[in-house]
Amino acid sequence: MVRGPGTCLPTFGGFRTSHPAALVDVRRRSYRERVSTSTTTGTASRTPSTTGRAPRAGGIRTWAQFLAAGLVWGASFLFMAVALTGISFTQVAWTRTVLGGLTLGLVVLVARPRVAGGPVLPRQPVVWLHFLVIGVLGCVIPFLLFSWAQQSVTSSLASILNATTPIMTAIIATLAFRVEKLDASRWLGVLVGIAGVVVIIAPWRTELAGSLAGQLACLGATACYGVMFGYTRKFLSGRPIAQTTFAFLQVGMGAAVMLLLTPLLAVGPVRLDAAIVVCLAILGILGTGLAYVWNIGVIRDWGPTNASTVTYVTPVVGVVLGVLVLSEPLSWNEPVGALVVMLGILLAQGRVRMPLARRSATAA
């Protein structure tokens, strides 16, 4: 989701990406702009534009939500590593998705969020089909891939590779779905990000060849996030669906698929202890559930651009926890590559622009 493994989701150019994260963020701005111009009453019209807004002074609750989401998403890789010591990778993915769907379902049941007095849940069958697609792309496949990958790669490395989601989204949303256009500076950011991925994978280190499949699986998961973001922007952007409901429908449809596949995914040997149970509960209830709700609160108060900085928190948390708690080794190329990827993200998001690009924009 993240969508750390979910991850969910930073702003990337004109669209949102994230860790499993918060996956609902992808269509926030375009939805707000369209609905607010066509509605004079109701929730949507009362929501002010927050793009680029500076964090409000004294917003302790918002800061707490931001830090909680970043910590939970960053720690998700640690929780998966611990859970994998007692259950299979398919059971980890199944459990987190089902728990996340149930949690968000309870939130929607209690809050009953609406947009402009509309229904809580969409009524058009085609919308449900779209959510089925993004549930598979944003939850089922990437959660399975990340869980499988962490059988051969460290949680630290998985958290670093998860940070490539904005780069994947830029490429796929621009080339495959054509819902975004990147200028020369942003394309440079994409290339810098790809170079960072090469540094992280370190193909010149033959002793790491055994973990190559796991690293590619992590990149496959972030590519799924990229496809999901592009698909969401193309087919669901602008629909009057409350953000909490949006998160529930995505994770909930993913959970429905997991339940249908229970005989294939959830059956097998289980060796549980207190640590594994706690990690699975946090991973599902918080990491795949409530963290999305927290991220929505941050977006509403700070705006999507500032909320997207959670992208830079999650890999730091993932690496620190992996090294300190699990005593994982950290090769020099991993943090160096991560910094190169972050630079690429800054360029691709337009947060940092090349001097030539700035002069061109001024001249225009």
- CA distances in angstroms from 102 to 7, 163, 263, 294, listed in the order given: 17, 27, 20, 16
pLDDT computed for residue 24 by the predictor = 39
pLDDT computed for residue 191 by the predictor = 93
Low-confidence residues of the chain: pLDDT under 50: 1-2, 4, 6-54, 57-58, 360-361, 363-364
**Residue 168 structure tokens:** 């994947």
Q: Which residues pair with 4 in a beta bridge?
A: 6
pLDDT computed for residue 207 by the predictor = 64
d(CA 18, CA 36): 25
pLDDT computed for residue 346 by the predictor = 87
pLDDT computed for residue 116 by the predictor = 80
pLDDT tens for residues 58-80?
489 899 999 999 999 999 999 99
Q: Which residues pair with 3 in a beta bridge?
A: 5
Q: Residue 47: is it exposed, middle or buried by C-beta count within 10 angstroms (0-12/13-18/19+)?
A: middle
Return phi, psi of residue 141, to 5°: -65, -50
d(CA 340, CA 164): 11
pLDDT computed for residue 156 by the predictor = 94
Contacts of 274 (CB under 8 A, 6+ apart): none
pLDDT computed for residue 206 by the predictor = 64
Contacts of 260 (CB under 8 A, 6+ apart): none
Strands (E), the chain: 11-12, 15-16
Q: What's the count of helices (H) and strands (E) in the chain, helices before strands?
A: 18, 2
